[in-house]
Amino acid sequence: MSMPLPVTRKLDFSEIPVVDIGPLGEADTKRIPAVAAEIARACQDVGFMYVKNHGVSATVLRNLRREAEAFFSLPSTEKMKVAVEISPQYRGYLPLEYTGEEGEEGRNLQEGFIMMPDRPVGTLPLHGPNQWPEKVPGLKPAMMAYFVEVEKLARLMLPGFTVGVGLPADYFRDAFRDPEMMILKLNHYPPQKAMNDAYMLGVGGHTDFSAFTILWQDDLGGLEVLNKSGEWVAVPPIEDTFVINIGDLMQVWTNGRFSSTEHRVINRYGKDRNSIAFFVDPVYPTKVEPLVDRSGSYEPVVSGDHIYAQFRRIYPQRQR
């Protein structure tokens, strides 16, 4: 089935705010409330922001870009040796055209690679080992190093979210004490083939099931977010920034004050696009329920159960 590819009207880029988060890392905490207020405004009005002065090492990022490219360039048979579908913990390679968000027929024009912290297989689902490609030995150390860097950025952001809604700066310390449920995912998007196939976009419209997401994108473009008036707004690359967006869990915590905003990727540019997503999640047993304006319509969810359910919905598993 086929329908015309949706058109994006490019709105003023300033609609996606750029926040200088440098002050969040200062020993002197007096500038935190002002930054938190800026973050809160972005999370309410857009659900997306760019952050600059993020502290992530450029060398570590460069290494991961190189290794990711080497991995995605492998022959499919090599990549399928570490396929997600053979990992009960959903680690490893996602081949092109895995389940999309548009129902039965939707497929993603994207391949991916997922890792999470290595944990012994135990009673909690998703705890387990990663899979690594033999042919690209540099991928594992590059992903591990990047994970450390981007996890630091995630922790830096936490007071930015809580202070802005009137909670203490360290409110989330316990919920995010361990990265066990944090997910690092490499994405590779080939150019959109048929410009008339809305059933196979890079990624169809979706919200993230994380608390929040830290995204690096290359210089091509293609990420679009649905604004409050129902228009798709481009999120063009800005050098030396990351895109940070609110996910479903933070939306529940803030009782909808922060928006888990729908977004998609369409690679309209005739060249390969790469991105690196880091999904920031609290520890498995965290009960997530509204912390502010408590009279809400959000049911409490156990964070890990919510994430596991989404994995099962989206990612392939070989019948066993």
Question: Phi/psi class of residue 225: alpha, beta or left (left: φ > 0; alpha: ψ in -120 to 50)?
Answer: beta
Report the residue number whose CB is nearest to ligand OGA: 275
Using CB under 6 A, count the residues that bind ligand OGA.
10
DSSP-assigned states of every residue in 188-210: EEPPPS-TTBTTS-SEEEE--SS
For ligand OGA, the binding residue among 38, 67, 208, 248 (CB under 6 A) is: 208
E strands present in the chain: 18-20, 48-52, 92-94, 111-115, 183-189, 203-206, 212-217, 223-226, 232-234, 242-246, 263-265, 273-280, 287-288, 301-302
C-alpha 292/C-alpha 183 separation (Å) is 27
Tell me if 71 sits within 8 A of 79, measured CB to CB.
yes
Q: Which does 275 bind (CB under 5 to 8 A by kind): Ni ion, ligand OGA, none?
A: ligand OGA
x/- contact string, 157-196, with ligand OGA (CB under 6 A)?
Answer: ------------------------------x---------
Which of ligand OGA, Ni ion, none is residue 108 near (CB under 5 to 8 Å by kind)? none
149 contacts Ni ion (rule: CB under 5 A): no
Proportion of the chain in helix, strand, coil states, percent, rounded to 5: 30, 20, 50
Least distance in angstroms from the C-beta of 247 to Ni ion = 8
How far apart are CB 217 and ligand OGA at their closest, in Å? 5
Which of these segments, 12-20, 161-169, 215-223, 252-260, binds ligand OGA (CB under 6 A)? 215-223
Q: Does 281 bind Ni ion (CB under 5 A)?
A: no
Rule CB under 6 A: say whether 203 interacts with ligand OGA.
yes
Query: Which of 23/222 has CB closer to ligand OGA?
Result: 222
Quick one: which of 288, 281, 294 has its CA closest to 253?
288
Whole-angstrom distance, CA of residue 189 vs CA of residue 165: 36
Of 263, 267, 282, 304, the one binding ligand OGA by CB under 6 A: 263
Q: What character string, x for contact with Ni ion (CB under 5 A) and - otherwise, covers 187-216? A: ---------------------x--------
Interface residues with ligand OGA (CB under 6 A)?
187, 203, 208, 215, 217, 223, 263, 265, 275, 277
